[in-house]
Structure 1
Amino acid sequence: MKKYFQSLAYITFVIVTSFAIIKAITAYENPFSLYENPLVWIAITALITVVLLKELVNIIALKKAENLQLEKDGINPEEIDHWAWVKSLVKKWTQAKAVEEEEEIILDHNYDGIQELDNSLPPWWLYMFYATIVFGVVYLVKYHMLNGDNQTVEYQKEVAIAKRELEAFRATSKDAVIDMETITALTDESSLNRGKAVFNLNCAACHQKDGGGGIGPNLTDKYWILGGGIKNIFKTIAKGGRDGKGMVAWEKTLKPADVHKVASYVVSLQGTTPAKAKEPQGDLYEEESSDAAENKEEKAEEVIENSDNTNTEETSTTKTK
């Protein structure tokens, strides 16, 4: 009864665990990510361990049954050579002669009593030698007669394929690339909460959790070393601060979407009052209004038009002369 209960428990565990693993693989976006879904790997490890232990128990049980049968037949299990098949395989693949059979391959000549044996080459060595000959012929035909791709060409093809795949990924993934020229500050609660969490984890050590500044500058005032506003803040976080003494570049550690959310959270800190605010650093930064930006664009267009008109008049005057 105990044996049947153990078998039932084993079968139930295997079925339930396998179903759970399959369900997790189909449900999760990255099921085999150890950091995101550690339970999947725990379940796989547990399933493999239980199956191996079950097989080990079966092998031990079969071994005991064989020994009992041998004892009933009057054979001592310790006298049986369990490695006989290994010795037979080694002998077949080396064609080694036993000491008693060496007289068959002794050569007629000797040197100072030292006799030489006419041993044949081991079959495994011969087969490997024949394989190298076949490989050499194939290599000669492919690369020297049919002009196959060498390592440099293969590398260039792989790089080109990787670039195309990267461009396709950037075209379909919203988190892959963010245009710093058209970026705007996020204001929804979920984005700011995410930005705050990433800020507390990576930035608070230098800027304090309230943005008041420590090793790094104060983020709540209007003075900025590398410029304020969402565009400049995003660029500073992604590309890093001043060379040698500024902040490291976070673009290799954080996703562009997270950098965007952190920059938006930093923008939201403007005007807050931290407990221990650091003295202002850098230059006063005033965000340009949309009207001012439009006026600048209009003035730039007028300058371009005036320049084109002047060039046209000069050209016509020259032709008249």
Structure 2
Amino acid sequence: MKKYIQSFGYIGFVVITFIGLTKAFTTYEDPFDIYENPLVWLALIGFVLVVVMKEMVNLIAQKKADELQREKDGIEPEPSNAWWKKLMEKWTKSKAIEEEDEIVLDHNYDGIRELDNTLPPWWVYMFYATILFAAIYLVKYEIMGGDDQETEYRKEVAAAELELKKYKETTPDAFDITKIEARTDQGSLKRGNAVFRLNCASCHAADGGGGIGPNLTDKNWILGGGIQNVFKTISDGGRPGKGMIAWKKTLKPQDIEKVASYILSLQGTSPAKPKKAEGDIWEEN
């Protein structure tokens, strides 16, 4: 009775799990997305494990029954590694030492004689596989004009650039430094002023005249002027070892763009205590 209960339980589990997986595959748009549908993966793994374990139990039981039957018939059981020996004999076709006299060649050199062994099947099959691969390769790339590595690389780069373009079009936080322009509207400059006073004034003075940091009101720039250079300097930081920190980990790209625009609006103003000019004069092209 216990055996029948286990069989019915196994069949019921397999049927119910199979129906559930079928329903999930036909309902979900992407049933194999482990983040959105983890239960599908759990059910699938459980289904496979139960089926495999059931088959393993059957094999073990059958093997045990065969051993008992051989013991009952008085047949000596094979050693546990007999299957390995049979496999090696089949795949190498090697002769036992006692049988090597059958394949010894007639000629010898200084007492050294040679065995006339056949090629191992595994080596022969690998050789046939290389011939098959060469034929497929020839047809695909030389006859049908398949893409070579350079063409595949170019296609992948083009696809990546297209994906990047779509990402930038749909992501407001994605900034292309080559396309940003200095903002002049009052809202942006007001926001830039607030960010400047909170984060930059301690080193550059509230009016941009400079302190620990350089004067931001003259035409001299250490790392280049213009909106792109100022944006990059704020984002990536100043000169290694003695420049300011990189603010990209603290400020959003939008705020960096606005504070850079505000800094450029300070050009030509008259700070209370202007610091001596540093760097080279920058002329906007």
Using structure 1 for the length normalisation, give the TM-score.
0.47
- Structure 1 equivalent of residue 59 of structure 2: 59
Say which SS state the counterpart of residue 33 (structure 1) adopts: coil
Q: Which moved more, 1:49-58 or 1:80-89?
A: 80-89
Q: Does 1:50 align with 2:50?
A: yes
User: Paired residue for 2:170, among 171, 177, 190?
Assistant: 177
Q: 2:120 aligns with which of 115, 122, 128?
A: 122
**Residues 31 and 71 of structure 1, relative CA distance in 2, 3 Å threshold:** same
Instruction: Find the residue that maps to 1:115 and give its secondary structure.
Output: strand
With CA pairs under 8 Å and 6+ residues apart, which has the higher RCO, 1 or 2? 2
Structure 2 CA distance for aligned equivalents of residues 28 and 147 of structure 1: 39
Aligned residues: 200
Q: Distance in 2 between matches of 1:143 and 1:5?
A: 59
Indicate yes or no: 2:194 matched with 1:223.
Answer: yes
Label 1:56 to 1:114 Cα distance change in 2 as closer, same or farther (>3 A): same
Question: Counterpart in 1 of 2:186?
Answer: none
C-alpha separation in 1, matches of 2:130 and 2:6: 53
What CA RMSD, in Å, does the superposition of the two structures yield over aligned residues? 4.5
Aligned twin of 2:40: 40
**1:29 CA drift (Å):** 4.3
Which residue in 1 is equivalent to 2:212?
A: none
Structure 2 residue aligned with 1:106, among 79, 104, 107? 104
Assess, with a 3 A threshold, how the Cα gap between structure 1 residues 138 and 6 changes in structure 2: closer, same or farther: closer
Deviations 1:285-319 (A, max 9, x none): 9xxxxxxxxxxxxxxxxxxxxxxxxxxxxxxxxxx
**Structure 1 residue identity aligned to 2:69:** Q
Shift of 1:41: 2.1
Tell me the distance in 1 between the aligned counterparts of 2:53 and 2:135: 48
Identical amino acids, percent of aligned pairs: 52
The alpha-carbon distance between structure 1 residues 109 and 250, as it changes in their structure 2 partners (threshold 3 A), is farther
Distance 1:247 1:223 in 2: 17
| TM-score (norm. length: structure 2) | 0.52
1:122 maps to amino acid: P
**Distance in 2, Cα, partners of 1:147 & 1:90:** 42
2:155 alignment partner, one of 144, 157, 163? 157
Correspondence for 2:31: 31
Equivalent-residue separation in structure 2 for 1:225 and 1:22 (angstroms): 59
Alignment of 1:80 with 2:78, yes or no, is yes
Segments of structure 2 that go 5 or more residues without pairing to the other structure are 174-190, 198-231, 238-245, 263-285
Number of the residue aligned with 1:248: 249
Match of 2:19 in 1: 19
- SS of equivalent to 2:170: coil
Kindly provide the CA deviation profile for residues 120-147 of structure 1, in whole angstroms up to 9, marking residues without a partner as x.
3223323433443454466567656776
Q: Secondary structure at the match of 1:242?
A: helix
Q: What 5-or-longer segments of structure 1 have no aligned partner?
A: 181-219, 227-238, 252-258, 264-281, 286-321
